[in-house]
Amino acid sequence: MNTRFSTAFGLTTPIALAPMALASGGALAAACAKAGALGLLGGGYGDLAWVQREHALALSLSPDAAARLGCGFITWKLDEDASALDWLLDQPHSPAALMLSFGDPRPYAARIAQRGIPLICQIQQVAQLPLCLEAGAAVIVAQGGEAGGHGMNALNGRSTMSLVPELADALAAKSPHTLLLAAGGVADGRGLAASLLLGADGVLLGSRLWASAESLASTAAVQAALQAGGDDTARSAVFDVLRRKNWPAPYDFRALRNSLHRQWEGRVDQLRAAPDAARADYDAGVAAGDFNRAHVTVGEAVGLMHDAPPAAELIARITQETLRLLPALRA
């Protein structure tokens, strides 16, 4: 299934694994790479030991597909500690791509370019595009508010349906060689086909691959997600406060709208002012595997997810469904 994205990165399908912190580990990245997709490790908050361990695992599991392995980081956390990125850039294996999200990529662009590594930048508004083009991004990810985990809040965020074509038009005018991926709300071949029709060159899959056999997400969390629908998710800062994650504005977090989340909806300022009791409740939920209190990181596409098979099966299923929907792509 050839698009500009799959051709540029030597893929057999225009799918990239979202580098989900603490979920997109070495096994999942390797499985995606072997299945013909781009496997991005969830470097996330830049935990050096985690990145070293999962990077080694990914390489050991997919030596024949190492050219499809990369990594992603939270940019504002790199501003505090870039040791994991520095370590990765010093390794003999050159990542297929490095993805930066939620911050200014320019301070890291030169180091990445020196290794000849393509830079992927995730954005949530058209206004963020110029900084990424200045940084030399090879790929832009258009992340809609439907996405699970971190994204732009409801006041500032956009929907995937309108953001993707607007960015496609902007890139066609300003930087036609730059590739575009859609993210947020995509979980099957219909979503991939729609993204291509909207002007994207492929998709970045998060929630759908979060619920896969190789994901590091807990079995209980996945089962809770598979019983939920898109109506059951919400975007807020509640779980960031409970998890002691000091995310900057305008970003917040989409997850299942469970009992603990509902207790604090509309009272986030109160939660920030006196979080101790709620944090203790959350911590107890995590320890007990009780997902009425612990968070389940999924987006609005959760209602399209009904199983958690191996990643290769999911990728093949999505690709085949897309080809059925868009027969012109068979050529």
Do the Cβ atoms of 252 and 153 come closer than 8 Å?
Answer: yes
| 34, containing H or E segment | helix 26-34
Pairing type for strands 251-256 and 149-152 reads antiparallel
List, in sequence order, every beta strand (DSSP E) within 157-268.
Answer: 179-183, 202-205, 233-236, 251-256
pLDDT one digit per residue (tens) for the chain, 331 residues: 899 999 999 999 999 999 999 899 999 999 999 999 999 999 989 899 999 999 999 999 999 999 999 999 999 999 999 999 999 999 998 999 999 999 999 999 999 999 999 999 999 999 999 999 999 999 999 999 999 999 999 999 999 999 999 999 999 999 999 999 999 999 999 999 999 999 999 999 999 999 999 999 999 999 999 999 999 999 999 999 999 999 999 999 999 999 999 999 989 999 999 999 999 999 999 999 999 999 999 999 999 999 999 999 999 999 999 999 988 655 5
* Phi-psi label, residue 10: left if phi above 0, alpha if psi -120 to 50, beta otherwise: left
Question: How many CB atoms sit inside 10 A of residue 5's CB?
Answer: 23
| CA gap 12, 265 in Å, rounded | 43
Please give the pLDDT value at position 331: 54
pTM over 0.75: yes
| CA gap 175, 159 in Å, rounded | 22
Please give the pLDDT value at position 327: 84
The DSSP symbol for 327 reads G
Show the domains of the chain with their CATH numbers: 4-216+308-330 (3.20.20.70), 219-288 (no CATH)
Please give the pLDDT value at position 256: 97
